Amino acid sequence: MTNYLIVPGLGNSGPEHWQTYFENSAPNFTRIQQSDWDTPACEDWIKSIDDMVTSFEASSIVLIGHSLGCSAIAHWAVKYKREIKGAMLVAPSDLEAANYTFPTKGFSPIPLERLGFNSIVVASSNDIWVSFVGYFYNTIYANTQRLFTVNFNGYNGYLFA
C-alpha cells in the first residue's frame, strides 16, 4: 500500500484546503504535524518529515507538499537521501523572491541537487509567490525531465514530471 504524507506550507492548511480533503480521503493519507507553523525553522520541519517517513517502509511513501512544504521536502531529500516512492510538489514558494517576506529560518537557498526520487511539480504561471523564470528553471526544472503546459478554465499552469 502507498502511504501519502502531506507536508503543508506556512500556516498549515484549514478545513476547506485541498490538503485537508486529501488527508480525510483515506486512512493512508497523513498530515505531517509541525511544532511551529507560523515562524518555521527548516531543520525542525525536515526532522518532522524524516520522523514520519521512517515510521513507514520508505519505498511506500509519496510526499505531497504545498508551498513552503515543497522547499521543506527538497531540503529533506538533500539531507536524508531516503529512497521513497515519489513526491508531488504543488505551488512551491520561491523563498528567494523579493516579495517573500515571511519569517522562515533556514529554507533559503533552495537546494539545486536532484531529489533522488520521482517527482511531479504542479505550478501556475501567475502565482505571486514564485518567479517562474528564477525558481522553475534554476531549481525545479533541474529535478524533472518533462514540462507540460496546462490550461484549465483560462488559467495557465505547468506540470513538471
Tell me the pLDDT tens digit for each residue of 129-149. Answer: 666 555 554 455 455 555 555
- Each domain of the chain, given as residue ranges in start order, spans 3-160
Q: What per-residue confidence (pLDDT) applies to 79?
A: 97
Which carries the bigger pLDDT value, residue 36 or residue 118?
36
> What mean pLDDT comes out for the span 91-108?
85
Cα separation, 99 vs 33, in Å, equals: 26
On average, the pLDDT of the chain sits at 83
What's the CATH fold of domain 3-160? Rossmann fold (3.40.50)
What is the pTM assigned to this prediction? 0.85
